[in-house]
Amino acid sequence: MNIPKELRYTEDHEWIRVEGDIAYVGITDFAQKELDELVYVEVETVGETLSAGDEFGTVEAVKTTSELFMPISGEILEFNKQLDDSEGDDPTLINRDPYGEGWIVKIKISDKTELDGLLSAEDYAASLP
């Protein structure tokens, strides 16, 4: 299973990649495998500032729907157009490349100290069944 060491993780299987005051958020390789083929991603929170743990969207697979939660506080700047049904409409991109082109949202970080509360790659791997 792919768990990049440079990312931080939540117990709810989101990852975050920080680039200055901006971060990209998606779901982990483990999560996409558990959900199986994704058919729809919904994010209606662009422009909103949310707190860590707040729901920012959902992913829908053939058999289930799962909520997406903010790993840290921040403003949702962008929803990945390649996943959006009004743009690229390719949610399976998450299945193929969860840590790269399959990112879900880009955020402006409110409080970088919240990153300290997230899991390292090693801790995330240890938390998996």
Using one digit for the tens of pLDDT, what is the confidence trace for 93-102? 999 999 999 9
Alpha carbons 129 and 119: distance in angstroms, whole number = 15
Which residue type occupies 83? L
- Please, which pLDDT band fits residue 108 given cuts at 50, 70 and 90? very high
Burial of 4 (0-12, 13-18, 19+ CB in 10 A): middle
Residue span of the structural domain in which 96 resides: 8-112
β-pair type (14-19, 49-50): unpaired
Burial of 27 (0-12, 13-18, 19+ CB in 10 A): buried
Do the domain assignments include residue 121? Answer: no
- Helix (H) / strand (E) element for 34: namely helix 29-35
Query: In the prediction, which pLDDT does 100 show?
Result: 96
Do the domain assignments include residue 129? Answer: no
The CATH number linked to 83 is 2.40.50.100
Number of domains in the chain: 1
The pLDDT tens digits for 1-39 are 899 999 999 999 999 999 999 999 999 999 999 999 999
Do the domain assignments include residue 127? Answer: no
